[in-house]
Structure 1
């Protein structure tokens, strides 16, 4: 059984302001205000949310989404800021996930501009998504050559 930790409080970097609007143990809605951005965004522990059965989820993985509208409406700078705030608040977070609806090229482009990369396509009930992830350096810094056997 996976034990899911509660979400930590997010501190915005200089020039940004996050105000918690609503929240539960595993989900929080923030009002984001910063350069060119004045919107609500949500963060949710993947293991407790809609993505829990779509990939090998870690207890500390977090999904980021816009409270109303497509994630593509969130400027990439705001998505980058949220990513940094989540990693600062939870150093054990291995993946920050964005779910782009199939065919939503704007969300895909915004997430990629914010440093996310596409990893898998998934089906949820009656929707299809492309999952994009951002991972910290301590996750991606290792040897990724799958065909390389160490010390050979």
Structure 2
């Protein structure tokens, strides 16, 4: 059985050759923070990665010990900025699943009124799940899952009995 003490902070992802990832020194204990910028230049998005068990999202769904909460701060909230952030997330999320094969879900929870972040997440392959009230306010829960989970059938006829 894995306990929260056995699970290290989220791994450093390698989102591919199109991005430069720089660690930010102000990450909380048990989390990691990065500035992610396009390799050719441009504004950097801020990414914060936490294990869900150490994040307020732990109250929102039955999380796994290796699930990752992702916070995204867009440097450019325009349509082009949302598309760029979506490309970053499209490269970042598979890199997270590769870096931690036991991770079942990457979860993001932008504020209910942050439509720019919500669009960026959708552009990056996240699926909108539901609205959730957390101590800090109302958020919209988005998830991304690795193919080995996302492709599992949930039809009753496909379940073993």
Query: TM-score range, shorter-chain basis?
Result: 0.7 to 0.9
**Higher helix proportion (structure 1 or 2):** 2
Q: CA RMSD in A?
A: 2.7
Kindly indicate whether the alpha-carbon contact (under 8 Å) linking 1:37 and 1:78 is maintained by their aligned counterparts in 2. no
SS at match of 2:24: strand
1:28 aligns with 2:32: yes
How far, CA to CA, are the matches of 1:30 and 1:144 in structure 2? 36
Kindly indicate whether the alpha-carbon contact (under 8 Å) linking 2:72 and 2:117 is maintained by their aligned counterparts in 1. no
Kindly indicate whether the alpha-carbon contact (under 8 Å) linking 1:46 and 1:59 is maintained by their aligned counterparts in 2. yes
**Higher strand proportion (structure 1 or 2):** 1
The partner residue of 2:151 within 141, 147, 151 is 141
SS at match of 2:57: coil
Gaps of 5+ in 2: none
TM-score normalised by length of structure 2: 0.79
- Seen in structure 2, the aligned counterparts of structure 1 residues 46 and 71 have a Cα distance that, compared at 3 Å, is farther
- Seen in structure 2, the aligned counterparts of structure 1 residues 33 and 56 have a Cα distance that, compared at 3 Å, is same
How far, CA to CA, are the matches of 2:105 and 2:76 in structure 1? 20
How far, CA to CA, are the matches of 1:150 and 1:86 in structure 2? 29
1:38 aligns with 2:39: no
Report the CA distance between 1:57 and its aligned residue: 1.1
How far, CA to CA, are the matches of 1:13 and 1:94 in structure 2? 21
- Seen in structure 2, the aligned counterparts of structure 1 residues 151 and 51 have a Cα distance that, compared at 3 Å, is closer
The partner residue of 1:53 within 47, 59, 68 is 59
Gaps of 5+ in 1: none
